[in-house]
Structure formats: C-alpha cells, structure tokens
Amino acid sequence: SQQGEEDPQALSIQEGENATMNCSYKTSINNLQWYRQNSGRGLVHLILIRSNEREKHSGRLRVTLDTSKKSSSLLITASRAADTASYFCATDDGAGFQKLVFGTGTRLLVSP
C-alpha cells in the first residue's frame, strides 16, 4: 500500500454510533495528522499525534498510533450527522521536510 492508506474506504453508520477509521503508512514519521474534508471544501485539521505518543484525545476524537505497525486509528464517538465528511490521515516524510503525504481517505456517512 502507499504511504497513508485508510480503511475502510467508506463507512455508513447511524447517529450515536462510534466510527473507527484506520490508516497505515510505510516510512518512518515525525507525526501523523488527521484532517476532515466536507464535500467541496478545504481540509480541516482535527488532531496531530507525534511519533513518541501512543494515544491522544480531543473532544469526541481519539487517535492512536502504533509506530511498530506503522498504523493509526481515528475513533469518533457518539457520531452526529454533522460528522459526515471524508477523513484523511497525513504524515510527514520523516526526513524533516514539511510536506504532508495524504492517504486515500475514508468517506463517513452518519445518518440521523
């Protein structure tokens, strides 16, 4: 797989349920970020987790990072219809450069 591959590609749940998205990457990283993109809009930064961190919380978001498996997960608890969007993980290239390498994204649909 390429740097930053998410699964599932699409996820459909009911309001109130939890949504879990996974991301895998190939190279060493300094940090991993999750972004949200509403249809036709820009990317909104959700959370950043550094390579020496294993778990991070922000509101209803919980991110884990397993550098030994080169994988991360994003959990959205008690989902709302407004969470409907595409979610992308993004990594730096580990070489100290600033560019982000994005995954293919997970399309989340939360039905009322």
Partner 1 sequence: EPEVTQTPSHQVTQMGQEVILRCVPISNHLYFYWYRQILGQKVEFLVSFYNNEISEKSEIFDDQFSVERPDGSNFTLKIRSTKLEDSAMYFCASGTTQPQHFGDGTRLSIL
Q: Output 17 or 31, the one with its CB closest to partner 1.
A: 31
Q: Is 31 in the site for partner 1 (CB under 8 A)?
A: yes
Work out how close the CB of 1 gets to partner 1 at its nearest, in angstroms, rounded to a whole number: 12
Q: Output 13 or 48, the one with its CB closest to partner 1.
A: 48
Amino acid letter, residue 97: F
Q: Is 41 in the site for partner 1 (CB under 8 A)?
A: yes
Q: Is 100 in the site for partner 1 (CB under 8 A)?
A: yes
Q: Output 4 or 11, the one with its CB closest to partner 1.
A: 4
Q: Is 26 in the site for partner 1 (CB under 8 A)?
A: no
Q: What is the CA radius of gyration of the chain?
A: 13
CB 92 within 8 A of CB 31: yes
Residue 98 CB: number of other CB atoms within 10 A?
A: 6
Q: Is 25 in the site for partner 1 (CB under 8 A)?
A: no
- The contact set with partner 1 (CB under 8 A) reads 4, 31, 33, 35, 40-45, 48, 88, 90, 92, 97-105
